Structure 1
């Protein structure tokens, strides 16, 4: 019976960290994240006026957080401001098509997630479509398929434009500047990429750099120190509890051996 009580107690302790974290108050940056996501979802549903109101609420909240905490750098403020302005325009410009609206709100959503310091930023989830689009660019150039090359490059440029501001927040400025320069080159000198082997080499260089950018977050992602504390504490509890239960069982068996009448 006592063993069962200890097991229940152990399970409670195992769940305790999750209960504590779940009850923590929502932080200001979490609130900003939620607002950016809500604006995106409303835009997807064609509720542009509602999305605009959410973006206005975001602006007030962001200004308040900036004044109180002063936790954002000038570059972060500039990137957020630009992305926010583009998002607002997407909800107010009647001539803008739905795809462009969603792209702009997605860009804004990714930027806000990036400034939150997430260990797994949302922009990393764009790796598959970005790399797939770029692979089509490379194949079309190698095969000399001009029309497909232009179409694939246009698709890639749209996707890269969505994640580029977020990359600036999470990746070194030197690496992003070099990547931006290479991408701008193949966009501007498309015919050279198609017709000249030396220029086409840029395609492989960009592929390597893109892969490096996406892999960087994975390789640099380390476990939160607080999680290590939970693991160590939980492991210690398990060891102590099992040791105690084993000791009690051993002691009980020993007592039975000394007092057969208790069996």
Structure 2
């Protein structure tokens, strides 16, 4: 009985209840966001709207457990844009789907930190960036601007998700590159300087997709198993030694009698 209590105490200490308390809720929210996106793609906007409103109610039940204001802000902002997209009839279909996709990816970024869906868009983002480089090498300004516009559209889909679970410094570096490319002064730079900037931006984009935010709040599963196993073994050894010592002392008392 004592060993069970010790093992339970170790489990509680290593895995706070809040981690499990929200797991089911996040599964539900993840599914809601995905269904809302599929409904939007099928032009079933009223049903998508109802799901998004339901999402808002469910999210409000445990948002206080989220200790990151960045996560709350991103989810709230992308949810509002998604709800507006399915509500306003004036929103173009492509933009509407993009807004729901952006929201879907953001929810997944919270729920799936190790392999989030936004990283699967690496090819789409980098292929647009490659077109930018090719246009720059050919000194074709019009093609460059078209490719840059395509790149921005694709990167904006994942930007909220990136802010949730990518390295903050990497995110800021990519944002700085984009701001420079959007500035009129970029066109005034020498071709060599412009290519240098694009190569550096490419490196930072690759690092962004390759980077995975390390879990600092929870130990790894292997470390946990080792720690728990070690504690239980130590406890069993101690209990066994106490039992052996007690039996030995009892035998000595009986022999003296």
Q: Give the unaligned 5+ runs of structure 2.
A: 1-21, 226-257
1:111 equivalent in structure 2 = 106
Higher RCO structure (Cα 8 Å, ≥6 apart): 2
Offset of residue 190 of structure 1:
7.6
Q: CA deviation at 1:199?
A: 3.0
Matching of residue 204 in structure 1 with residue 199 in structure 2: yes
Q: Is the 8 A contact 1:80 1:112 kept in 2?
A: yes
Task: Decide which of 28, 33, 36 is 2:33's aligned counterpart.
Answer: 36
User: Within 1, Cα distance between the matches of 2:187 and 2:196?
Assistant: 11
Q: Which residue in the other structure is 1:216 paired with? A: 211
Look up the match of 2:15: none
Distance 2:113 2:177 in 1: 28
Q: How many residues align?
A: 202
Indicate which of 57, 60, 70 corresponds to 1:60.
57
Report the counterpart of residue 225 of structure 1 in structure 2: 221
> Paired residue for 1:160?
155
- In the TM superposition, what whole-angstrom CA distance separates every residue of 1:132-169 from its partner, at most 9, and x where no partner exists? 11010111111112221111110000111111111111
1:4-46 Cα offsets, whole Å, 9 max, x none, are: xxxxxxxxxxxxxxxxxxxxx9700000000000110011011
1:143 aligns with one of 138, 143, 148: 138
C-alpha separation in 1, matches of 2:131 and 2:188: 14
What are the ranges of 5 or more consecutive residues in structure 1 without an aligned counterpart? 1-24, 230-263
Deviation at 1:72, TM superposition (A): 3.9
Offset of residue 210 of structure 1: 0.4
- Residues 185, 164 of structure 1: CA spacing in aligned structure 2 closer, same or farther, 3 A cutoff? same
| Structure 1 stretches of 4+ moved >6 Å | none
Of 33, 40, 47, the residue aligned with 1:50 is 47
Q: Over the residues paired in the alignment, what is the CA RMSD in angstroms?
A: 2.6
Report how far residue 197 of structure 1 moved: 2.1
Question: Cα distance, 1:130 vs. partner?
Answer: 0.5
